[in-house]
Amino acid sequence: MCLSPVKGAKLILIFLFLGAVQSNALIVNLTDSKGTCLYAEWEMNFTITYETTNQTNKTITIAVPDKATHDGSSCGDDRNSAKIMIQFGFAVSWAVNFTKEASHYSIHDIVLSYNTSDSTVFPGAVAKGVHTVKNPENFKVPLDVIFKCNSVLTYNLTPVVQKYWGIHLQAFVQNGTVSKNEQVCEEDKTPTTVAPIIHTTAPSTTTTLTPTSTPTPTPTPTPTVGNYSIRNGNTTCLLATMGLQLNITEEKVPFIFNINPATTNFTGSCQPQSAQLRLNNSQIKYLDFIFAVKNEKRFYLKEVNVYMYLANGSAFNISNKNLSFWDAPLGSSYMCNKEQVLSVSRAFQINTFNLKVQPFNVTKGQYSTAQDCSADEDNFLVPIAVGAALGGVLILVLLAYFIGLKRHHTGYEQF
C-alpha cells in the first residue's frame, strides 16, 4: 500500500498467480476518504519482436511479473485525469489514462514502454534503448457503470501485440462503492474468444458454449486431455490428467463446453488434509476441484466450485461441498479411462475422460499405482455373480427334488 499523488488516496495492488504459464491477474483498488475511487481487475501480456545481433528477429512474450511497482497511479477528479501506472522492473512500464466528462469517462492513452538495453529480458538486441508504443483506442463508459470484458482484446501495433482480458473496470467511482450496473464489451456478446497462453507451442483454438437444443445439433467432440501439476516449494504435490466437458442447464437450455488445456491456466495448493486444483480461462473465472483426506487412509473429491460466463453474457455460479467422488487409498492415484459423469448439481455436471488424479503423497513428481474405477464395478459384479451362482444351484436342487418325488409316486401307483 502506498500514497498516490492524490492527497489521501491509497492504492492496493494485488497479483493473483494463475498457474505455470505465469499469466498473472491484477486487482487495483484506489481509495480515498469516501472509499473506492477507481477499481480495475484485468490480465494482460505483450508479445514483442526485436532484431538481434545475429541478424534474426526474436519474439518474446512478457506477462505481469511477481515484482511490479505502481508509482504515479491516481484517482483523478473533475479537473484531473485518473491513471494506472505499472512498472515491470527496469525493462517494461505500462500506463492507462481516464478522463471524466459530463455523463461518461474515457479510457485512452494506453502506453507501453520497454527498454531493450535490458539484456536479461531482451537478449542480443541490436537497437538498445527505450521504445514506446501508444494504443490509439478510446473507450467511452457511462459514469457509475463498471466495464466488463472477459474476451481477449488483441491490438497488433507492430512490433508489439498487446492482449487484455478478464477486465472489470470502473474509474471515478461514485460514493466510494463500485457500481452494480454493467457495460459488457461487444466481444463478449459473441462466444468466439480464447484466453492467451504464454510459453506454449500448442495451437490456440476457439472455444464456444454450444446450445444442444439447436434444430440440427452437431455432436460435441471429446475434450482434449490436459496435464496439471501443483508444486509445494520445489516438490510436486498434486497431479491431474483429464479431459473435461462441462454440461450446464441454464433456464432449461443445456450448454456443453469443452475445456481446452492449451488455453487454460491452472494453480492450486496442497495442505496435509486438503488439496486444491483451480482452472481458469477467458470464459471460466474459476473451476475448483478440492480434495480431502478421510480416516487418515483415503482421499476423495469433496468439493467443486465453478464461476463462468455463458454465451448469452450471463454468469453461472455453482458450489457443492458435499461430494464423494474419486475415492482411493492415500499413497495411490485414482484412474478412470472411460467417460465418467460427476453430478455437481441439477444444473451442472462434469464429464471426465481419461482421468488420473493424485492429490496427496506424490513421489518424485510421478503417479503412484492407480486404483482403477473398474474396481468399483467389480465390487458390484462379484456379489451379483455369486448370488446368481447360488440361485442356479438352488434351482437345480429343487428340480432334482421334484423329479425324484414324482418318480417315487409313480412307483407306488404301479405296485
Does any domain span residue 210? no
Distance separating alpha carbons of residues 189 and 312, to the nearest angstrom: 7
Which CATH number covers residue 101? 2.40.160.110
Does any domain span residue 246? yes
Same domain, residue pair 150 and 262: no
pLDDT in tens, 382-391: 455 556 666 6
Q: Is the pLDDT of residue 237 over 80?
A: yes
Does any domain span residue 196? no
Same domain, residue pair 251 and 358: yes
Q: Is the pLDDT of residue 312 over 80?
A: no
Does any domain span residue 213? no
Query: What is the maximal distance between C-alpha atoms in the chain?
Result: 126
Cα-based torsion angle of the residue sequence 177, 183, 187, 192 in order, rounded to the nearest 10 degrees: 70
Same domain, residue pair 168 and 234: no
The pLDDT assigned to 406 comes to 61
Distance separating alpha carbons of residues 196 and 215, to the nearest angstrom: 33
Same domain, residue pair 36 and 82: yes
Does any domain span residue 398? no
pLDDT in tens, 85-138: 988 877 899 999 999 988 999 999 999 999 999 988 899 999 889 999 998 888
Same domain, residue pair 305 and 365: yes
What is the percent of the chain where pLDDT is above 90? 44
Helix/strand/coil for 175 = coil
Residues 6+ apart with CB under 8 A from 397: none
Does any domain span residue 156? yes
Q: Averaged over 131-148, what is the pLDDT?
A: 90
Distance separating alpha carbons of residues 362 and 235, to the nearest angstrom: 9
Q: Is the pLDDT of residue 220 over 80?
A: no
The pLDDT assigned to 253 comes to 64
Q: Where in the sequence is the domain holding 292, given as residue range(s)?
A: 225-373
Same domain, residue pair 113 and 179: yes
> Structurally, how many domains does the chain consist of?
2
- pTM confidence score: 0.48
Residue 363: CA count within 13 A, CB half-sphere: 6
**Contact by Cβ (8 Å): 207, 283:** yes
Distance separating alpha carbons of residues 407 and 114, to the nearest angstrom: 104
Pairing of strands 333-336, 370-372: parallel
Q: Write down which residue in 131, 159, 187 finishes a domain.
A: 187
Residue type, 408: H
Enter the C-alpha cell of residue 396.
437345480
The pLDDT assigned to 391 comes to 66
Q: Is the pLDDT of residue 228 over 80?
A: yes
pLDDT in tens, 47-73: 899 999 988 899 888 877 656 777 888
